Amino acid sequence: MTVATENSYLKGAKGRNTRGLLRLVILCTIAAAAVSSRLFSVIRFESIIHEFDPWFNFRATKYLVANGFYDFWDWFDDRTWHPLGRVTGGTLYPGLMVTSGAIYHALRALTLPVDIRNICVLLAPGFSGLTAFATYLFTNEMSSTPSAGLLAAIFMGIAPGYISRSVAGSYDNEAIAIFLLVFTFYLWIKAIKLGSAFWGALCALFYGYMVSAWGGYVFITNLIPLHVFVLVCMGRFSSRVYVSYCTWYALGTLASMQIPFVGFLPIRSSEHMSALGVFGLLQLIGFVEFVRSGVPSKQFQTLLRGFVVLVFSVALGGLVLLTVSGVIAPWTGRFYSLWDTGYAKIHIPIIASVSEHQPTAWPAFFFDLNLLIWLFPAGVYLCFLKLSDEQVFVVVYSILASYFSGVMVRLMLTLTPIVCVTAAMVLSTILETYLSIKSPKSDAESVAIEAEASKKKNVATKGGLRSMRNPVVGIYTMVSKSTVVGAMTLYLLVFVLHCTWVTSNAYSSPSVVLASKLPDGSQHIIDDYREAYQWLRQNTKEDAKIMSWWDYGYQIGGMADRPTLVDNNTWNNTHIATVGKAMSSSEEVSYPIMRQHEVDYVLVVFGGLLGYSGDDINKFLWMVRIAEGIWPEEVKERDFFTARGEYKVDHEATDTMKNSLMYKMSYYNYNGLFPPGQAQDRVRGAQLPTVGPVLNSIEEAYTSENWIIRIYKVKDLDNVGREHGAAASFERGNKKKKATKKRGPKVLRVE
Amino acid sequence: MAGKRNARDVTPSPPINKSGTSTPTTPAAAVNSVTSKSKDANLSANEVAVAMWDNYVKATPQRTKLIDVFMAFLVVVGVLQFVYCVIVGNYPFNAFLSGFSATVGQFVLTASLRIQTNAENKAEFKSISPERAFADFVFGSLILHFFCVNFIN
């Protein structure tokens, strides 16, 4: 820990101890603040897993804890993607589950048997404390002022941009990934500063851990080579760069290939080619430098330089050729859509349909990073002023991360660490300037010195104002000092208030239970999700297949513990499109589809009664679009709009809309809740048609208290072999009074 | 034991190297003029290579030469593996990758060791003594071999 301060009060060996203790206390307090500001949802509601994705992670962790590591590693999950199943061991990042499994067993060994659910819920707050510490270390490498690290740590601890992904209960990959990201960067900076193979190897190890935890490791894989490349382009190649980068790349790539999900990707895919290219480039440069040191000759140097350029362009050309010819896989859609922002919307609707893949609006930056966002550019500027190797890293990181966070809301998460670091650097510089007790020169001394100086100067320069003769450089008055420091303190206090407010109001609500306020201010909790999932769990067969839209796949698997057709891991687009087609077609079309996939129950989410806007009718158009991508002849988006191009559910709705399975399931029996003719959809604000839809091939099995979740049972085939429509209409007594004697146009019976 | 001997070797090496670097200044100048003349005359690169080789043999300490021999060996092994892969095909791709990247990684680590222990780079690596560099080398190699053995299946 390098402590280089000229604080007059805390000097000497004793002062160093005091400072160390102070630091320890501050860091512990920061960690405590980081943890406790994430507990709003646990205190207000209960200790459960939020959101959708964490339910799968939770389920996988339970499997790991119950069956051991090796079973988890080759886990074939036959309760998802029903006819297909999922090779879970090879299609997930195991870092999160293994970490919490390890914590679970460690606590067991310490005779503290904690339930695995509580470990999963509280993992993210725990790691946020570590993230704050890692940011402290990282910033200390960047800045010479001792306070910058502490400021960065507290910023990172409570910035809402990071809290949004790491509140208690959000058991997602990002929970540990941000810690690993920052810590990997710290180790990298350390490695490049010292030129040490040891730190490079440590960096590679943590990089490997990061790869096992989050798909966002690609960010590191591209950032570190970019940093090195920029250094090389600036003419700052040194043997330190060579040692640290080559150690990192050689070990880190091997480490990343140990994860089954990643496999050969570091060799084969385009996202990893920059790292490989820079690795090759560094070998060349290293060799050339070696030769050049042996033979110092002007012509030889130019020759070598030409050689480097030639080889580099040949390598680049070879890379392009390999990519075009298909040996190296091109960019995957998810990453490609970061460059071509219109790509996903046109070609892969399933990527565009996720709400967090949208571009970020301006208010989001201020909302998530309050005062940090306007200190951020100043910090980058400060790095430009003192441009050493690690400052280049900050500059590269900030440019890259701000671009990505502008393209996608979700990537705000990778921007937050660097914003905290740079803002802390600026703020500590300001505070250091204005908070130093001593003035640049004490008055009496300066008068004496200036008198001497002015004597000499007066000889030389006689003219000009008297005040201009001895320009006073420095901040003297207590007023200016205290004003600036006071203003900064005020900003910091407001920042804390803002963070707490945002965390409490925006980011601490579990999406599993919906909370609403009654008029008297008391809280009313709508718990339809768990009610319905519990019903499924208790009242259906163990292997009853549930069909729902993919959003709810993980929750059904986690809470209801029933096999599903599709889930949030959208690896098979066609299968999702099949479900979309079943939902958006008429019953005659969708019944065979459901029979083919052995569906027993269909689950829809309907928010019309309560005004819950995230329901399936609002997501319906995405189902149609995804289905249309596969079967353009059978499902057409145009058919779901009225003649004027409106998306309606009331009596103006098109026939295709009214006959679609989704519409029927959502509004089935809904009219009965209201007086005749006054059925109202509170989300769409529409008056529903007086005659509700009729269901023939499925029957209502369960509807939750507030009608949010509706579950339908798929009927068996008719006993006598009739169509379901005919059978149901016979049951309803729709037979015509006068039997027609006319013979229908029958076809020949083929035996 | 080997590390001890290496460490003892380190101390005498700088004077050798210093004399090596100081004495070649005159030959280097000679080489310089030779090469520039040869470039002007568009003469062979052969001479340059010979001069470089002589310079290398003279100026490099024994221990660094040993490292260089090891690196050359690694290059040969890597090239052989690659040629075999090209001829026969890459069916157990992970086996090829782990073998090949073991040579590449070991080469890079050894190059790092060579750079760090080189007396000319003292200024660059102030905090790293040759013993420390060797320990780092061992650490990195152990990790590398663990991963390679794990990956080869």
DSSP codes of every residue in A574-594 = HHHHHHHHHHHSBHHHHHHHH
pLDDT of residue A437: 64
Q: Which alpha helices (H) appear in A408-477, and where do they start and end?
A: 412-435, 443-460, 466-469
Q: Would you call A593 an interface residue with chain B, using a CB distance cutoff of 8 Å?
A: no
Q: What number of other Cβ atoms are within 10 A of residue A470's Cβ?
A: 15
Spatial separation of the C-alpha atoms in residues A548 and A628, rounded to whole Å: 18
**Is the pLDDT score of A4 beyond 50?**
no
Mutation site for B-interface testing, chosen from A74, A198, A293 by largest number of B Cβ within 10 Å: A198
Spatial separation of the C-alpha atoms in residues A268 and A323, rounded to whole Å: 9
Interface contact B135-A258, CB threshold 8 A = no
Residue A517's pLDDT band (cuts 50, 70, 90): confident
**Is the pLDDT score of B102 beyond 90?**
yes
Q: What residues have CB less than 8 Å from B129, skipping those under 6 apart?
A: none
Handedness of CA A533, A534, A536, A537 (dihedral sign): positive
Mapped onto helix, strand or coil, the DSSP state of residue A304 is helix
Q: Would you call A296 an interface residue with chain B, using a CB distance cutoff of 8 Å?
A: yes
Nearest CA in chain B to A243: B112
Question: Quick one: how many helices (H) and strands (E) in chain A?
Answer: 33, 10
**Is the pLDDT score of B14 beyond 60?**
no
Spatial separation of the C-alpha atoms in residues A296 and B27, rounded to whole Å: 11
Q: Taking Cα atoms as reference points, which of A307, A293, A291, A289 lies closest to residue A235?
A: A289
Q: Which of B56, B108, B125 sits opposite A250 (nearest CB)?
A: B108
Spatial separation of the C-alpha atoms in residues B28 and B21, rounded to whole Å: 9
pLDDT of residue A271: 87
Name the strand (E) or helix (H) holding A709.
strand A709-714
Q: What number of other Cβ atoms are within 10 A of residue A520's Cβ?
A: 5
Q: Would you call B112 an interface residue with chain A, using a CB distance cutoff of 8 Å?
A: yes
Residue A96's pLDDT band (cuts 50, 70, 90): very high
Instruction: Find tokens 């703020």 and name the residue.
Output: A427
Q: Would you call A658 an interface residue with chain B, using a CB distance cutoff of 8 Å?
A: no
**Is the pLDDT score of A107 beyond 90?**
yes
The DSSP secondary-structure symbol of A525 reads E
pLDDT of residue A145: 77
pLDDT of residue A469: 57
pLDDT of residue A151: 93
Interface contact A246-B135, CB threshold 8 A = no
pLDDT of residue A733: 78
Query: Average pLDDT in the A355-361 region?
Result: 81
Residue B18's pLDDT band (cuts 50, 70, 90): very low
Mutation site for A-interface testing, chosen from B147, B151, B153 by largest number of A Cβ within 10 Å: B147
Q: Would you call B116 an interface residue with chain A, using a CB distance cutoff of 8 Å?
A: yes
Query: Which residues of A are less than 8 Å from B115 in CB distance?
Result: 239, 242-243
- Side-chain half-sphere CA neighbours of A491 within 13 A: 19
Interface contact B124-A195, CB threshold 8 A = yes
**Is the pLDDT score of A617 beyond 60?**
yes
**Is the pLDDT score of A298 beyond 80?**
no
Question: Nearest CA to CA, how far is B84 from chain A (Å)?
Answer: 19
Question: Nearest CA to CA, how far is A95 from chain B (Å)?
Answer: 17
Residue A736's pLDDT band (cuts 50, 70, 90): low
Query: Average pLDDT in the A497-526 region?
Result: 86
Spatial separation of the C-alpha atoms in residues A688 and A675, rounded to whole Å: 12
Q: Taking Cα atoms as reference points, which of A664, A697, A719 lies closest to residue A593?
A: A697
pLDDT of residue A15: 77
Structure tokens at A10: 């805390």
**Is the pLDDT score of A439 beyond 50?**
yes
Question: Nearest CA to CA, how far is B12 from chain A (Å)?
Answer: 21
Interface contact B52-A243, CB threshold 8 A = no
Query: Which residues of B are less than 8 Å from A267 in CB distance?
Result: 97
Query: Average pLDDT in the A331-354 region?
Result: 72
Q: What residues have CB less than 8 Å from A163, skipping those under 6 apart?
A: A37, A38, A128, A499, A502, A503, A507
By percentage, how much of chain A surpasses pLDDT 90? 52
pTM value surpassing 0.90: no
Q: Average pLDDT, whole number, for chain A?
A: 86
pLDDT of residue B25: 37
**A520-A523-A529-A531 Cα dihedral, nearest 10 degrees:** -90
Nearest CA in chain B to A299: B36
Nearest CA in chain B to A256: B147
pLDDT of residue A631: 92
Question: Nearest CA to CA, how far is A194 from chain B (Å)?
Answer: 7
Q: Would you call A461 an interface residue with chain B, using a CB distance cutoff of 8 Å?
A: no
Query: Which residues of B are less than 8 Å from A198 in CB distance?
Result: 132, 135-136, 139-140
Buried b / exposed e over A245-276, threshold 16 CB at 10 Å, is bbbbbbbbbbbbbebbebeebbbebbbbbbbb
Range name among A362-371, A535-544, A724-733, B128-137 with the lowest pLDDT average: A724-733
- What value, to the nearest 5°, has the Cα angle with vertex A286 and ends A282 and A287? 120
Interface contact B143-A205, CB threshold 8 A = yes
Interface contacts A/B by beta carbons within 8 Å: 116
Interface contact B32-A240, CB threshold 8 A = no
pLDDT of residue B27: 41
Structure tokens at A321: 């050729």
Interface contact B108-A238, CB threshold 8 A = no
Query: Which residues of A are less than 8 Å from B31 in CB distance?
Result: 295, 297
Q: Would you call A257 an interface residue with chain B, using a CB distance cutoff of 8 Å?
A: yes
Contact A579, A550 (CB under 8 A): yes
Query: Average pLDDT in the B62-83 region?
Result: 94
Mapped onto helix, strand or coil, the DSSP state of residue A680 is strand
How are beta strands A601-605 and A86-87 bridged, if at all? unpaired
How are beta strands A601-605 and A546-547 bridged, if at all? parallel
pLDDT of residue A230: 94
Interface contact A194-B39, CB threshold 8 A = no
Q: Taking Cα atoms as reference points, which of A663, A510, A652, A509 lies closest to residue A583?
A: A663
**Is the pLDDT score of A460 beyond 70?**
no
Query: Which residues of A are less than 8 Å from B147 in CB distance?
Result: 251, 254-255, 257-258
Q: Which of A243, A267, A293 sits opposite B116 (nearest CB)?
A: A243
Handedness of CA A66, A71, A75, A77 (dihedral sign): negative
pLDDT of residue A377: 94
Q: Would you call A195 an interface residue with chain B, using a CB distance cutoff of 8 Å?
A: yes
Interface contact A246-B112, CB threshold 8 A = yes
Q: Which of A238, A239, A250 sits opposite B104 (nearest CB)?
A: A250
**Is the pLDDT score of B60 beyond 60?**
yes
Range name among A326-335, A500-509, A596-605 with the lowest pLDDT average: A326-335
Interface contact A201-B136, CB threshold 8 A = yes
Spatial separation of the C-alpha atoms in residues A271 and A724, rounded to whole Å: 52
Q: Which of A197, A247, A295 sits opposite B51 (nearest CB)?
A: A295
Instruction: Find tokens 């071999």 and name the residue.
Output: B145
Kindly provide the ipTM of the predicted complex, given to two decimals: 0.83
- Side-chain half-sphere CA neighbours of A692 within 13 A: 20
pLDDT of residue A12: 63
The values of phi and psi at residue A701, to 5°, are: -105, -40
Q: Average pLDDT, whole number, for chain B?
A: 76
Contact B35, A295 (CB under 8 A): yes
**Is the pLDDT score of B13 beyond 60?**
no
